[in-house]
Chains A and B, each alone.
Chain A
Amino acid sequence: GAVVSQHPSRVICKSGTSVKIECRSLDFQATTMFWYRQFPKQSLMLMATSNEGSKATYEQGVEKDKFLINHASLTLSTLTVTSAHPEDSSFYICSASHAGTDTQYFGPGTRLTVL
């Protein structure tokens, strides 16, 4: 099956710093990647959709200047949380799909803790 990796798996940072999370599709070319976040005991919420080479499309209520998404290649998308604050602490999960199939494959997630 298709494999999606994320790095790092967990990160702790100080308030005000920026954190970059990488999402890679290891054995397929991901034409579309998605970023979700999940707060404790809640379901996944879509943050943004990115297509390779295009600007990301953000969901309502998600600040595009705070959550920078780059999808520069068909195997890599990055999410940068800028000026992180404690309320940004969450489980961030990416998923990827490739042309010709509609199934999304998810990464293992990144747990961000902002002190």
Chain B
Amino acid sequence: DAKTTQPPSMDCAEGRAANLPCNHSTISGNEYVYWYRQIHSQGPQYIIHGLKNNETNEMASLIITEDRKSSTLILPHATLRDTAVYYCIVRASFTGANNLFFGTGTRLTVIP
């Protein structure tokens, strides 16, 4: 699975949009971009995933560049409850292994 690079930490003011970048320059054609987050002492929570088109759901938007070498997770109106570690994971879908490799992620702190 392709390696991802994320900034170790970011701050965001409450109510503003949080934009979390992820570089995945070695991504291959059949690999998806997944985002999970982990609030302290809880299990990871699925946020969103995509292949090449931008995606939006009730939690966030995922913007993938045309060359697919990077992506941005957007939380449109960050709240204090969005403070967590956000993981960008790239992996082929429907593989036999099916596991997720968690890197170090980005620790997002939403500031009142």
Contact = CB atoms under 8 A, between A and B. Distances in A.
Interface of A: 1, 4, 6, 32, 34, 36, 43-46, 49, 91, 93, 95, 97, 102-109, 111
B97 A111 contact: no
Given A32-B98, A43-B102, A43-B105, A102 B44 contact: no
B9 to A, nearest CB: 13
Which of B42, B46, B99 has the largest number of chain A CB atoms within 10 A? Answer: B99
Given A36-B102, A108-B42, 7 more contacts: A34-B99, A43-B104, A46-B101, A95-B44, A106-B43, A106-B45, A109-B42
Interface of B: 32, 34, 36, 38, 41-46, 49, 87, 93-94, 97-105
Contacts of A44: 38, 44, 102
A32 B100 CA distance: 13
A4 to B, nearest CB: 8
A102 B41 contact: no
Contacts, number: 53
Contact of B41 (A6, A46, A104, A109): A109
Nearest to B95: A102
Contacts of A46: 99-101
A83 B88 CA distance: 35
A111 B40 CA distance: 12
B97 A91 contact: no
Given A32-B98, A49-B97, A106 B103 contact: no
28 contacts: A1-B46, A6-B43, A32-B98, A34-B98, A34-B99, A34-B100, A43-B102, A43-B103, A43-B104, A44-B38, A44-B44, A46-B99, A46-B101, A49-B97, A49-B98, A91-B41, A95-B43, A95-B44, A97-B98, A102-B94, A103-B46, A103-B49, A104-B98, A105-B46, A106-B44, A107-B43, A108-B42, A111-B41
